[in-house]
Structure 1
Amino acid sequence: MTSTDVPRTAGAGRHETAQRLLDSSAMLSYDPATEVDWETPLDKDFHGASPEWSTLYGTSYWAEMSPEQQKELTRQEAASVASTGIWFEMILQQMVLRDFYAKDPTDPAFQWALTEIADECRHSIMFARGAAKLGAPPYRPRKLAVELGRIFKATASGEAAYAAILVAEEVLDVMQRDWMRDERVVPFVRTINNIHVVEESRHMKFAREETREQLEGAGFLRRRINALVIAIASYFIVSSMINRDVYKHAGLDTKRALREAKANEHHKSMMRSSCAGLMEFLGSCGLLTRPALVFYKRANLI
């Protein structure tokens, strides 16, 4: 049993968790404006992410690419992931603000929610500056995802909001833990990943606690409906991480790259293995229903 799975009593456990997270934030937080080396020019001898996480790694196209092309692709893919992170962090902030609107400001959970929002604002600026330094254009999710996100951020509540937050954070967390330790990755990106991993670990703890809290007393129908909502949201989040334009900006044949990326079993396996703990948690909450599994499988999360 992990620290995130320790049983707790309602109310008191939530209070204690929020206070611990506030204390942790006070002891260990970063200012990306000063912690990240923004001044040193981009060294193109480095990757932007661990090459094993590239959507083309292990394909015949990857084998044909020069080392310079491979590095450029990973830089563009890292920038795309960062841009998707900004998009979802903006959704996250609005959902959390709505949830805590007019609640007790003396509650540690209320204060933690504002702390998390402040973290996300700094992370978004950090990701934006990082993507720009990687030489990437402003990658954005496709229009359908943007419009569905607009609806989701305005309507999602309870476990639907917090479990979707958890999915986005956990998928990115596993990738970045690899990238921050990889000496092939350009140093400033490793610093960005380290900052995000440290601070997001607290966010994930809170999201798990809130998901459990919101599900207490939830009826069969509500649980089934929100299980599907979370799965659909997860599909659009994960499928938006790598913008199709990364291949064009890396100087590749977009049609061929998309075709080989779609069939890349190595990348699918990486995604599935990275989400094993997350899927176990969702299953323990009764959120892995048969309709939900359809979308998790389409996103290669299970």
Structure 2
Amino acid sequence: MASSTARPRVEHGTQAGEVAGRLLDSAATLSYDPLTEVDWETPLDKDFHGASPEWSTLYGTSYWNELTEAQRKELTRQEAASVASTGIWFEMILQQLILRDVYAEDPTDETVQWALTEIADECRHSIMFARGAKKLGAPAYRPPRLAIELGRVFKTLAFGEAAYAAILVAEEVLDVMQRDWMRDERVVPFVRTINNIHVVEESRHMKFAREETRRHLEKAGPVRRHIHAFVIAVAAYVIVTSMVNKSVYAHAGLDAERALAEARANEHHKAMMRSSCAGLMEFLASAGLLTKPALVFYQRAHLI
């Protein structure tokens, strides 16, 4: 059940404090406990998809047209579980980035309190995603070793706008697809609930990430801006290309080699990704973060 406990209002000293205060009020009014909100007990109904079929990496291909409905549903369940597993990986990175950002800061400041609230949200989301993937009958999908090691470097070194804009990229891409999934009656009900919880709570996280990106950029000179624009783009490429693990096709009982080849050439899926990122790209452009070197990676990831 969503929380409805009001938080005492206080005066906010800065614009950042005002944003954080509003987000804290929102979290106090509308937050969820996935352990009680999600139906974990009802057995998986395999008559449902795990995600909207149109978001499948094979949708629109000749291979998709050859699949039975049961195979299509199994594939979308495996893909949804892979996206959830990638979400867990990046949420762990996100939590460390935020903790480093507020380390040794004034804990009575509402921006720090919001940061801690966001970390608490992400912990619940990670557990929710993990339980959801398990209920979908999927293995523990992990990003490629190179992505894991790059993530290790990123979470250790990234700061300021590089950290918050990368957070925003991951959250924005997930947000658009999950809004479709949560409204789609073809998707298994417990996954729709998971997506609804994530969309509601991540909307606050995205608001904060946008504000922090803008705030940090105010102090960034042209050299730093260009370096961080490149770092953000590389992070976006790694995140997006890691979302659907290559092994989902074999776990769905498909010809993995053929499925991977058709998925890589799937213009429908590329178009879905580009349309989902239109707002994100507009924001990055307005912030001066769509430099020519950065554009190369966004184009390779089919985000623009």
Normalised TM-score (structure 2): 0.96
User: CA offset at residue 294 of structure 1?
Assistant: 0.2
Corresponding residue number in structure 2 for 1:121: 123
Residue 197 (structure 2) pairs with residue 195 (structure 1): yes
User: CA offset at residue 70 of structure 1?
Assistant: 0.1
Residue 155 (structure 2) pairs with residue 164 (structure 1): no
Distance in 2, Cα, partners of 1:161 & 1:110:
16
Corresponding residue number in structure 1 for 2:9: none
User: CA offset at residue 150 of structure 1?
Assistant: 0.4
Residue 123 (structure 2) pairs with residue 153 (structure 1): no
User: CA offset at residue 234 of structure 1?
Assistant: 0.4
Q: Which amino acid aligns with 1:239?
A: T
Corresponding residue number in structure 2 for 1:14: 16
RMSD (Å) for aligned C-alpha atoms: 0.5
1:186-231 per-residue CA deviation (whole Å, 9 max, x = no partner) reads 0000000000000000000000000000000311100000000000
Q: Which amino acid aligns with 2:300?
A: R
Corresponding residue number in structure 2 for 1:226: 228
Normalised TM-score (structure 1): 0.96
Distance in 1, Cα, partners of 2:102 & 2:14:
18
Residue 82 (structure 2) pairs with residue 88 (structure 1): no
User: CA offset at residue 13 of structure 1?
Assistant: 1.6
Distance in 2, Cα, partners of 1:261 & 1:147:
25
1:18-71 per-residue CA deviation (whole Å, 9 max, x = no partner) reads 000000000000000000000000000000000000000000000000000000
Corresponding residue number in structure 1 for 2:68: 66
Corresponding residue number in structure 1 for 2:4: none
Residue 114 (structure 2) pairs with residue 112 (structure 1): yes
Corresponding residue number in structure 2 for 1:3: none
| Uncovered stretches (5+) of structure 1, i.e. residues with no partner | 1-10
Identity of aligned residues (%): 80
Corresponding residue number in structure 2 for 1:284: 286
Residue 45 (structure 2) pairs with residue 43 (structure 1): yes
Residue 245 (structure 2) pairs with residue 266 (structure 1): no
Correspondence list, 1:210-249, <5 A = 210-249=212-251
Corresponding residue number in structure 1 for 2:255: 253
Q: Which amino acid aligns with 1:233?
A: A
Q: Which amino acid aligns with 2:20?
A: A
Distance in 2, Cα, partners of 1:215 & 1:231:
16
Residue 218 (structure 2) pairs with residue 206 (structure 1): no
Corresponding residue number in structure 2 for 1:140: 142
Distance in 2, Cα, partners of 1:42 & 1:31:
21
1:251-301 per-residue CA deviation (whole Å, 9 max, x = no partner) reads 000110010000000000000000000000000000000000000000000
Counterpart of 1:57 in 2: which secondary structure? coil
Q: Which amino acid aligns with 1:96?
A: I
Distance in 2, Cα, partners of 1:14 & 1:217:
15
Distance in 1, Cα, partners of 2:244 & 2:211:
29
| Uncovered stretches (5+) of structure 2, i.e. residues with no partner | 1-12
Q: Which amino acid aligns with 1:97?
A: L
Q: Which amino acid aligns with 1:87?
A: W
Distance in 2, Cα, partners of 1:218 & 1:61:
48
